[in-house]
Amino acid sequence: MKVGMDGMPIGSLLKIEENPLAVMDHAIALGFEGVLLGNRPLRDEAVRKQVIEKAQANGLYVEMGGAGIDSALSGKSPKELVEGWKEIFPIAKEVGSPILVTGLGTWPWDGRIIREAGRTLEDQITGAVATLRELRAVAADWEIIVTLHTAFNTAKEYLRIVEEADSPWVGLCLDTGNSFLVLEDPVDFARAVAPWVHSTHLKDSFIYLEGDGIHWLGGCELGTGTVDVPAVVEMLYQANPECNLSIEDHWGRGTHPMLRPEFLESLGPWESDRLAKVLGHLSRGQGLMDSGAQLTGAAAKEVDWTEAFPGRLAKDAAYARELRDKLQGK
């Protein structure tokens, strides 16, 4: 288990997302042991060779993003979507990535509330299953695991997708803060999906009430939100000690209409234990805001993130390495 950096947040912030070598330089300087990179820049052979050399010279793992699987949103058949993957697998093999991360897109919707006539969440789920079942033979040929990033689906829905995909070459990329988007406790979510997790977006986060919805912070410094990061990391380590921890910390935030009846109904029956935990997270998140421990949205806009963010990432890396080292008895 190594601690790495998802290259997307810092790549987007510093406008180096198309320069994986620059992303890797930042990862090395900030104390990371690996990187999660997009596949597009790696299609250039010269860039790819430099990435391989830099990774080998610095002992970095490399994991990569894949292509799409959302046949419902894309309007493409599973077979057409799989064609888009075929050029990515040999690139991943060459750079040594055992993982290709994918995900479901979002409709023009608010949370899980789909506003397109004739479109349903079930369309996405069944389309994802069909595409992954079509893709699994290709993944097996290359011996590369396709992992589905967790976001606007419940743990139960993700389990359904991977179980129906029915392949050891299909699993999950657990985003440890995104369970709040479906009002699930991060530890309970992680416990449910841990046996299928092969990659991560490790993040801390919190939620609190705002206006007619629930405000969600897309990332905060590890250990400063309400995600029990140590408990989640221990679960992942026990389930799969080879699973890397790719930190996806960022300053994104947004208010979602999670109090609307149709959103709540889409999540299925509510057990009292789950409700109690969500209310607890809302209360603790509000406490973080009221105490000034976390920035308001307005205050965050005043921060020079290009200056502040690298230092925060260095703290994230140190925090995660310490958790990992304790689990490994170092």
* Predicted confidence (pLDDT) per residue in 8-53, tens digit: 999 999 999 999 999 999 999 999 999 999 999 999 999 999 999 9
What per-residue confidence (pLDDT) applies to 111? 65
SS (H, E, C) the chain: CCEEEEHHHHHHHCCCCCCHHHHHHHHHHCCCCEEEECCCHHHCHHHHHHHHHHHHHHCCEEEEECCCCCHHHHCCCHHHHHHHHCCHHHHHHHHCCCEEEECCCCCCEECCEECCCCCCHHHHHHHHHHHHHHHHHHHHHHCCEEEEECCCCCHHHHHHHHHHHCCCCEEEEEECCHHHHHCCCHHHHHHHHHHHEEEEEECEEEEEEECCEEEEEEEECCCCCCCCHHHHHHHHHHHCCCCCEEECCCCCEEEECCCCHHHHHHCCCCCHHHHHHHHHHHHHHHHHHHCCCCCCHHHHHCCCHHHHHHHHHHHHHHHHHHHHHHHCCC
**What's the pLDDT at 236?**
97
Q: Tell me the pLDDT band of 281, cut-offs 50, 70 and 90.
A: very high
Give residue 106's pLDDT.
75
Which range, of 35-49, 174-188, 256-270, averages the lowest pLDDT? 256-270
The pLDDT tens digits for 195-254 are 999 999 999 999 999 987 899 988 899 999 999 999 999 999 999 999 999 999 988 888
Give the mean model confidence (pLDDT) for residues 117-143: 92
What domain range includes position 104? 3-205+225-251+304-327
Average pLDDT of the residues in 295-322: 94
Residue 217 covered by a domain: no
Q: Measured between alpha carbons, how far is 268 from 292 in angstroms, rounded to an integer?
A: 35
Residue 56: inside a domain: yes
Per cent of the chain over pLDDT 70 is 98
Three-state secondary structure call for residue 5: strand
pLDDT at 170: 98
Per the domain annotation, does 182 fall within a domain? yes
Q: Is the pLDDT of residue 77 over 60?
A: yes
| CATH code assigned at 99 | 3.20.20.150
323 within a domain of the structure (yes/no): yes
Note the pLDDT of residue 203: 97
- Work out the percent of the chain whose per-residue pLDDT is above 90: 82
Q: Does residue 271 lie in a domain region?
A: no
Number of domains in the chain: 1
Digit-coded pLDDT (tens) for 285-306 = 999 999 999 999 889 989 999 9
In a domain, 42, yes or no: yes
Whether 118 has a pLDDT exceeding 80, the answer reads no
- Look at residue 125 and tell me whether its pLDDT is greater than 90: yes
- Residue 110 banded pLDDT, cuts 50, 70, 90: low
